[in-house]
Amino acid sequence: MPILFCYDSAVLDRFPTIHGGVILACRLHNGPTPPALAAAFLAEQRATLARLGETPLSEVPSLAAWRRAFSAFGVKPTQYRSAAEALLRRLTKHGDIPSVNLLVDLGNLVSIRYALPVAIFDLRAITGTLSVRFARGDERFTDLGTDEVVHPDPGEVIFADETGLVSARRWCWRQSDQSAARADTTEALITVEGHHASAEEDVRAALADLQALISHYVPGALLRSDLLSPANPAFNVSTD
């Protein structure tokens, strides 16, 4: 079977504590967030604020581990924050996280629950295998809401396909415009990742939550998943 997603060996050598959960989601439908999910997302935001209390985000173990990872490949973690920290920073500073669409809100709900980055990549943006690897610097990235093509910095961790199209820069800092979940997204690759001491357990739980939520709010979705690590670095699955 073809490899849909993998961690490059050089990344695994540098970051041997990485654990990732991956879902191939087919037969999806997207659109505005239904009222029941909106209520669940709001409740999760309130629960997250209560759980965090006065704890600085820099002291949350999963976020601290992402800060160390960013520093390890030359990125200032207070200038470029992991997607999970950026979400929680928005929540703690403004009191809420705006709704985007059904699929994104599902991912954001799980992201704040576990303080882990969750990415939803529209499969139309991916050619061949999507690899987590170090950038050469000649790959192509288009930021959300723009049409300007830029190049990642050599040595930063990126999600790139076999054509050099980048779906995410600085590992889990920001997705590309092409890869974002849209109203007509029907197939997606979903990832959740962590580096901290309990990452394997937390990623496993987050992956289970994601699958349960998708099955509930997107009836008929076909889901296939796996847990990745240096011992199991590739997601092999047919997209037929």
Q: How does pLDDT run across 184-208, given as a tens digit for each residue?
A: 999 999 999 999 999 999 999 999 9
Name the region of 137 (left: φ>0; alpha: ψ -120 to 50; beta: rest).
left
Rounded to whole angstroms, the Cα distance separating 23 from 78 reads 29
Could you give the 3-state DSSP secondary structure of residue 128?
coil
Rounded to whole angstroms, the Cα distance separating 193 from 66 reads 10
Asked if pLDDT for residue 225 goes beyond 70, the answer is: yes
| Average pLDDT for the chain | 96
Asked if pLDDT for residue 236 goes beyond 70, the answer is: yes
| Domain range enclosing 45 | 3-236
Report the pLDDT value the prediction gives residue 49, as an integer from 0 to 100. 98
Between β-strands 222-228 and 19-26, what pairing exists: parallel, antiparallel or unpaired? antiparallel
Rounded to whole angstroms, the Cα distance separating 193 from 63 reads 11
CA atoms within 13 A on the CB side of 142: 11
CATH of the domain at 34: 3.50.40.10
Asked if pLDDT for residue 238 goes beyond 70, the answer is: no
Q: How many domains does the chain have?
A: 1
